[in-house]
Structure 1
Amino acid sequence: MTTKIKHIVFDIGSVLIHYDPQLGFTDLIPDQTERNWFLQNICTHEWNLQQDRGRKWEDAENLLIEQFPDRENHIKGFRQNWHKMVPYAYDDSVAIFRQFIADGHDVTMLTNFASDTFREAQERFVFLKEPRGVTVSGDVFLMKPEREIYDLHIESFDLNPAETLFIDDNLPNIIAAREAGWQAVQFIDPATLRSDLNSYQFIT
């Protein structure tokens, strides 16, 4: 029998808000082929992850500018145009998120996010200020799916792992949460999430 859930922990990107780095470069690099090459070879996903781990944008930019001096404007454009990469929230997901809070459930967030862009996101998407709190990878220099960030979140918010339900779109993050003793469901879409939540002892 499933342990009763007392805490719900949400991921943010691709669960509550849309993220697509292509959108930051549609004006700066109009050609799709060139834009793909730039994001696959210069401002790569792996490079951006280090900002989620806490590396400062200036250091990240300088590292690439040294290697690609003719691409300085494009490299700096990643941070300058970051707001275009997160154009909207997923309303149905946010409705579930807010309903948990309205019903008195204990809700927190655990996210891989650069420290400064997370604060920018909070100003744009006010629901990100509504739960009890958040663990941001860029603040703590740890990242999902590393075990340490799950343990830190549990300690920071005084949670019982077995009574904690984690919602994340990334399967490795879900597996890591379960290995840390949490319960977890992989986010596919809001309708699937509502269906998955039926097996737990609360209604959304």
Structure 2
Amino acid sequence: MTIRAVVFDFGGVLFDWSPHHLYRQLIPGDQERQWFLDDICTQAWNTEQDAGRTLAEATHSLIAAYPQHEALIRAYYERWHEMLRGPLAGGVAILEDLHEANVPLFGLTNWSAETFPYARANYPFLQYFRNIVVSGEVKLIKPDPAIYRVSLDQVRAHLPDIQPEEVVFIDDVAENANAATALGWRGIHHVSPEQTRRELQALGVSV
């Protein structure tokens, strides 16, 4: 079946985002920094904001639990933009090639509703997307099947008769790609731009 739309995850595919980019400046020691990000400002804590919790509430609750780390905790969102190093050239090149080929493009990202506007304002390639589903805006998060249904509804707003198997979803997290596959999409686990290109080509997508 012909692929009629491609949906992109953002972090790890199009964007180089990592708390380490900021905290290397604040906690020079590798072990101390890793401990802080594993035990205080954890990925699970950040995911709650991606799922819709406000940055203010998240910061307040964590400072209440770990007041001795207040300055480092506040830095997480006060200097969040320093975690976003920039675009990943290989992933963006795929996006641009698909755009040039007039393939309908959509986004599906786990991202805070409060920090995503920074990306919109600073990365023009996001204009290639016909729609972007941001987890923090819809208060659902991958790999919950419900957020994929929201995304498919947005795709169908542009391509009303499209079927799940005509949609490719690219994500650097295997669980998220597999969740799309389980719903009938063509999930691609993004491990490198070269591998993703090969998988798209195997599906008949010119890229």
Fold equivalence (TM over 0.5): yes
The answer to whether the Cα contact below 8 Å between 1:25 and 1:81 also exists between their aligned partners in 2 is no
Which residues in structure 2 correspond to 1:32-43 (within 5 Å)? 32-43=30-41
CA displacement at 1:173 relative to structure 2: 0.6
Runs of 5+ in structure 1 lacking a partner?
Answer: none
Residue identity opposite 1:39 in structure 2: L
CA displacement at 1:83 relative to structure 2: 1.4
Select 1:162's aligned residue among 153, 160, 165: 165
Which residues in structure 2 correspond to 1:181-200 (within 5 Å)? 181-200=184-203
Select 1:115's aligned residue among 91, 102, 113: 113
* In 1: Cα distance, 2:31 partner to 2:85 partner: 22
- Over the matched positions of the two proteins, sequence identity in percent amounts to 34
Q: Which residue of 2 aligns with 1:87?
A: 85
**SS of structure 2 residue aligned to 1:165:** strand
Select 1:67's aligned residue among 52, 60, 65: 65
Select 1:21's aligned residue among 19, 22, 25: 19
Runs of 5+ in structure 2 lacking a partner?
Answer: 157-161
* In 2: Cα distance, 1:200 partner to 1:160 partner: 15
Cα deviations by residue, 1:17-45 (Å, 9 ceiling, x for unpaired): 11111111122222222211111111001
**SS of structure 2 residue aligned to 1:27:** helix
**SS of structure 1 residue aligned to 2:45:** helix
The answer to whether the Cα contact below 8 Å between 2:55 and 2:114 also exists between their aligned partners in 1 is no
Cα deviations by residue, 1:128-165 (Å, 9 ceiling, x for unpaired): 12210100000001011000000111112214211101
Select 2:180's aligned residue among 152, 177, 182: 177
Give aligned pairs, total: 202
Cα deviations by residue, 1:68-127 (Å, 9 ceiling, x for unpaired): 112111101001221121112111211110111121111001000111211111222211
Residue identity opposite 2:182 in structure 1: E
Residue identity opposite 1:47 in structure 2: W
CA displacement at 1:202 relative to structure 2: 2.5
User: Cα RMSD between the aligned structures?
Assistant: 1.1
